[in-house]
Amino acid sequence: MIKPIGSDQLQPRFVADDAERAALAKEAESLPSVLISSQAAGNAVMMAAGYFSPLKGFMNVADAMGAAEKMTLSDGSFFPVPVMCLVESTDAIGDAKRIALRDPNVDGHPVLAVMDVENIETVTDAQMATMTDKVYRTDDMEHPGVGAFNSQGKIAISGPIQVLNYSYFEKDFEGTFKTAVEIRDAIAKNGWKKIVAFQTRNPMHLAHEELCHMAMDRLDCDGLVIHMLLGKLKKGDIPADVRDSAIRKMVELYFPANSAMVTGYGFDMLYAGPREAVLHAYFRQNMGATHFIIGRDHAGVGDYYGAFDAQTIFHDEVPKGAMEIEIFEADHTAWSKKLNKVVMMREAPDHEKEDFVLLSGTKVREMLGNGEAPPKEFSRPEVAEILIGYYQSL
């Protein structure tokens, strides 16, 4: 199986031993504590689950700047984005060297992790601006990722963490939320050697389904891991539980038995386009995938990124040898009226736009809200039925 990044074994930050975890939880209740942001909580969950391995905790400013500017930390290791614990005030913790981090996303704000504090630093406006520009390629506060990153505060608390739980993800998405460790174990149990991963924050329509089949066939893969984001999204995106139901129905009906796993991970979407695509590849290698599908405008939002920037960044900016995972570069896929099947648009040079079945997101949402299923060339009827139920409940 493909090795994790930077190590022969995953280094998850979750405290797996029950007695050790109970003792840590008891200690945590007596420690000074700080309520962290949703973004920081998602980062802690990703470290706990092994996706960010071998990262041991939140970055100091020097490492965060290195990640932003050249995807390289002070010790020379690779990481594609800053992973920071930013707060507005440290009054509650003072100069304590061991603190509890409280979860903003669970009622009562229970302790999520314990940190050994190495540094408390103030991030300058210039440093925030540089990180924002390098990661998001824009300083527009209307960009959901830019807004979230810049609204956390400018005091960075850094140091290694020990994580006590997986926030709300394990309970709310039982059976879907999986750690990188669990996915690796499942891949090994299935006997899969070549595995392609597919990222989604949306339900999968026919074009997405067929793209996965194309990748599996062309790469001669043993298995597919559909890996959906379960954390916070922007307004208007379909909730994870609805998306989960729709995807599971599609896999049940249209994929051979034991060929695809439906899983999810606990993280808030950054909408950082190319840089987030690299992060996605990073934790897909850690979960055991040998290949990763990146299509048109991967992890993008609005018109902030070029259609294929999320593919070219792997050739132009990612340090050589940083990752072993291979990228399956895909174009937009759609139903061809000429060929009566889903194709990649670049592989149909004799087609005009009107030769494809293309529907805007707005049009699809309007149809579903009216109880009308999109054409079968766009969406499986069983998937559409689930989505109609959601939109008509709004």
Q: Which of 21, 98, 201, 248 is catalytic?
A: 201
> For 362-377, what is the mean pLDDT?
94
What pLDDT is stored for residue 246 in this prediction?
95
> For 206-216, what is the mean pLDDT?
97
CATH of the domain at 356: 3.40.50.620
Which candidate, 391, 363, 359, 361, places its Cα nearest to that of 378?
359
Whether residue 159 is found in the same domain as residue 181: no
Average pLDDT score, the chain? 96
Whether residue 355 is found in the same domain as residue 387: yes
Tell me which of 123, 148, 167 is where a domain ends: 167
The answer to whether position 1 is within a domain reads no
pLDDT in tens, 215-264: 999 999 999 999 999 988 777 788 888 999 999 999 999 999 999 999 99
Whether residue 230 is found in the same domain as residue 305: yes
pLDDT in tens, 88-118: 999 999 999 999 999 999 999 999 999 999 9
Whether residue 33 is found in the same domain as residue 103: yes
Whether residue 158 is found in the same domain as residue 66: yes
Whether residue 204 is found in the same domain as residue 285: yes
pLDDT bracket for residue 78 (50, 70, 90): very high
What pLDDT is stored for residue 235 in this prediction?
78
Determine what percent of the chain is predicted with pLDDT higher than 90.
96
Domain that holds residue 132: 18-167
Residue 6 has pLDDT above 80, yes or no: yes
pLDDT bracket for residue 361 (50, 70, 90): confident
Give the per-residue SS3 of 330-387: CCCEEEECCCCEEEEHHHCCCCCHHHEECCCHHHHHHHHHCCCCCCCCCCCHHHHHHH
The answer to whether position 12 is within a domain reads no
Whether residue 112 is found in the same domain as residue 213: no
Q: Say which residues have a Cβ less than 8 Å from residue 369's Cβ, sequence separation at least 6.
A: 391, 392, 394
Residue 205 has pLDDT above 80, yes or no: yes
Residue 42 has pLDDT above 80, yes or no: yes
Amino acid found at 237? D
What pLDDT is stored for residue 128 in this prediction?
98
Whether residue 214 is found in the same domain as residue 237: yes
How many domains would you assign to the chain? 2
pLDDT in tens, 18-27: 999 999 999 9
Tell me which of 167, 190, 218 is where a domain ends: 167
Q: Tokens 């979750």 map to which residue? A: 14
CATH of the domain at 149: 3.10.400.10
> For 345-357, what is the mean pLDDT?
96
Rg (CA), the chain: 21
Whether residue 53 is found in the same domain as residue 180: no
Whether 370 is catalytic is no
The answer to whether position 6 is within a domain reads no
Residue 195 has pLDDT above 80, yes or no: yes
Whether residue 105 is found in the same domain as residue 188: no
Whether residue 142 is found in the same domain as residue 255: no
**For residues 188 and 369, what is the distance between their CA atoms, to the nearest angstrom?**
42
What pLDDT is stored for residue 232 in this prediction?
81
The answer to whether position 8 is within a domain reads no
The answer to whether position 377 is within a domain reads yes
**For residues 43 and 36, what is the distance between their CA atoms, to the nearest angstrom?**
11
> For 131-137, what is the mean pLDDT?
98
The answer to whether position 121 is within a domain reads yes
Whether residue 213 is found in the same domain as residue 298: yes
Which candidate, 104, 101, 96, 86, places its Cα nearest to that of 38?
104
What pLDDT is stored for residue 289 in this prediction?
98
Whether 119 is catalytic is no
Q: Which of 119, 202, 248, 365 is catalytic?
A: 202
The answer to whether position 7 is within a domain reads no
